[in-house]
């Protein structure tokens, strides 16, 4: 199985590095691409023009890299939530703009983490939450399919969110949406905190199902792989 190794750009953007400087660093370290946080590109990235998206792509590709996808999709939009009917239309518009932007960048995948955007209101039952989330995200999935990209709901730990906190719970939403462009993924840090299985076993169990479209590697201490005690040798072995 062939994987592209990408660097999440916000790790260095938060230190004040420009996109070009990040590309230089990533290329020197042997990365194949960048996974971009849209909020590092603009305050309202879904409103970026075609020319602006293509300029980002040109900068990245000039350094022998490519944009593999987007994550932290709704972080620049703290008022949006898939469980707030008053913001559903705007949420769909924002996500649609980011999907189009990802396609212009040449990316393949969008990762919907953004825990505040999916915090289930107190008292909302799981079935009702699944139904509302599917209603909001089904048109988003259709937009992703049209654009030729995959849209992934990211399982995050219960400390961060109370909806889709495990792969199994995320798969329930994937199946409810029922669009091949809408899938889930594994974040090794979140999985280490919320899953019953060790991360390596989780990968072995779920990757063959076809529901997993993306994997992010970071230590459960929120550092890079190797900066904590998580068994990344076993995790990488499970991938290859």
Domain residue limits, the chain: 6-185
pLDDT band for position 24 (cuts 50, 70, 90): very high
Better-scored residue on pLDDT, 225 or 90: 90
Give the chain's mean pLDDT: 96
Distance from C-alpha of 45 to C-alpha of 50, rounded to nearest angstrom: 11
* % of the chain beyond a pLDDT of 70: 99
Where is pLDDT greater, at 193 or 2? 193
Fold of 6-185: TIM Barrel (3.20.20)
CB atoms within 10 A of CB 131: 13
Q: Is the model's pLDDT at 34 over the cut of 80?
A: yes
**So what's the pLDDT on residue 46?**
99
Contacts 24+ apart (CB under 8 A), 119-128: 119/81, 119/83, 119/161, 119/162, 119/163, 120/83, 120/162, 120/163, 121/83, 124/83
pLDDT band, residue 118 (cuts 50/70/90): very high
pLDDT at 1 over 60: no
pLDDT band, residue 2 (cuts 50/70/90):
low
Q: What is the pLDDT averaged over residues 24-53?
A: 98
Per-residue pLDDT at 226: 82
Place of tokens 């469980």: 83
Packing angle of the helix pair 50-61, 19-29 (nearest 10 deg): 30
pLDDT in tens, 76-107: 999 999 999 999 999 999 999 999 999 999 99
pLDDT band at 132 (very low <50, low <70, confident <90, very high): very high
Average pLDDT over residues 106-123: 97
pLDDT for 228:
85
pLDDT at site 145:
99
Give tens-digit pLDDT for 147-192: 999 999 999 999 999 999 999 999 999 999 999 999 999 999 999 9
pLDDT at 12 over 80: yes
């Amino acid at each position: 199985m062939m994987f592209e190794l990408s660097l999440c750009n916000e790790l260095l953007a938060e230190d004040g590095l420009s996109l070009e400087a990040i590309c230089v660093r990533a290329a020197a370290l042997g990365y194949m691409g960048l996974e971009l946080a849209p909020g590092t590109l603009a305050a309202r990235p879904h409103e970026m023009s075609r020319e602006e998206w293509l300029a980002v792509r040109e900068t990245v590709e000039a350094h022998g890299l490519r944009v593999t996808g987007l994550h932290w999709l709704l972080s620049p939009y703290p008022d949006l939530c898939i469980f707030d009917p008053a913001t559903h239309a705007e949420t769909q518009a924002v996500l649609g703009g980011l999907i189009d932007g990802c396609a212009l960048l040449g990316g393949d995948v969008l990762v919907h983490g953004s825990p505040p955007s999916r915090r289930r209101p107190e008292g909302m039952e799981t079935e009702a939450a699944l139904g509302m989330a599917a209603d909001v995200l089904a048109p988003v999935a259709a937009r992703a399919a049209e654009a030729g990209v995959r849209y992934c709901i990211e399982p995050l730990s219960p400390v961060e969110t109370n909806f889709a906190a495990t792969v199994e719970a995320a798969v329930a939403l994937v199946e409810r949406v029922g669009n091949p462009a809408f899938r889930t993924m594994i974040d090794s840090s979140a999985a280490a905190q919320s899953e019953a299985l060790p991360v390596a076993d989780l990968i072995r169990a779920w990757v063959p199902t076809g529901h997993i479209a993306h994997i992010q590697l970071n230590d459960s201490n929120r550092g890079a792989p190797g900066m904590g005690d998580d068994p990344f040798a076993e995790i990488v072995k499970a991938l290859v």
